[in-house]
């Protein structure tokens, strides 16, 4: 048996050795998802000839990302592991938005808005003088009616060169829709 598959149950082995180029692994906590994904990456590199930079390995937690990085370094070596596109969903999105964010108007050096930043924007939106209140109220109602309050906050955050964490994936997709060539460059980098 292949050493990459050692220690995996039959379902995990099936996921690791699947011929599909795209794979989603869903399982409850503590069931071996990180172990399975790590083995899958090593398997793609060793058995299917994938280049490390062509493999995007995305997790939802920093802990899982670190664990995958350490396990992959043991399986494929530090040099290969360092060339993988590996991280949390948000860190990978941020990495590419730094490069391609200009396509959707993101300024260089944009920040990621946390809940404190979002509350500050809401306070700014509602702290205008009373003379501007009617004008602002009209636009607030317009934005809430058409796009929702979250969209209005997102637009204001963009003015401050910030984006919401929840919007990072959407922003990246919009970047790629604006310039399909960027997908090719990103994919082949």
Res 132: pLDDT? 61
CA–CA distance, 64 with 19 (Å, rounded to integer): 24
Domains of the chain: residue spans and CATH: 3-83 (3.40.50.300), 98-189 (no CATH)
| Burial status of residue 163 (CB atoms within 10 A of its CB: 0-12, 13-18, 19 or more) | buried
Res 129: pLDDT? 56
Please enumerate, by residue number, every residue annotated as part of a binding site: 27-34
For 134-168, what is each residue's pLDDT tens digit?
566 666 666 555 555 555 555 555 555 666 666 67
Res 1: pLDDT? 44
The residue written with tokens 């999105």 in the block is 93
Q: Rounded mean pLDDT of 93-105?
A: 82
For 100-133, what is each residue's pLDDT tens digit?
888 877 778 777 777 777 777 767 666 655 446 5
Res 17: pLDDT? 92
Q: Rounded mean pLDDT of 172-178?
A: 74
Res 136: pLDDT? 63
Please enumerate, by residue number, every residue annotated as part of a binding site for ATP: 27-34
Residue by residue, DSSP assigns 50-74 as --GGG-EEEESSHHHHHHHHHHHHH
The two beta strands, 111-113 and 162-164, are parallel
């Amino acid at each position: 048996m292949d050493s990459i598959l050692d220690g995996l149950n039959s379902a995990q082995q099936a996921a690791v050795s699947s011929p599909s180029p795209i794979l989603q692994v869903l399982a409850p906590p503590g069931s071996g998802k990180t172990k399975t994904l790590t083995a899958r990456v090593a398997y793609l590199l060793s058995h299917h000839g994938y280049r490390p930079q062509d493999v995007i390995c995305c997790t939802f937690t920093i802990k899982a990302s670190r664990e995958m990085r350490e396990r992959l370094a043991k399986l494929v070596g530090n040099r290969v592991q360092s060339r993988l596109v590996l991280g949390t969903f948000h860190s990978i999105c941020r990495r590419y938005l730094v490069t391609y964010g200009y396509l959707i108007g993101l300024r260089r050096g944009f920040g990621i808005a946390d809940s404190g930043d979002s509350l500050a924007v809401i306070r700014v939106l509602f702290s205008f003088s009373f003379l501007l209140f009617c004008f602002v109220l009209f636009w607030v109602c317009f934005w809430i009616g058409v796009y929702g309050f979250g969209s209005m906050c997102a637009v204001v955050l963009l003015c401050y060169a910030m984006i919401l964490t929840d919007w990072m994936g959407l922003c990246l997709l919009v970047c790629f829709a604006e310039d399909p060539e960027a997908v090719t460059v990103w994919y082949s980098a």
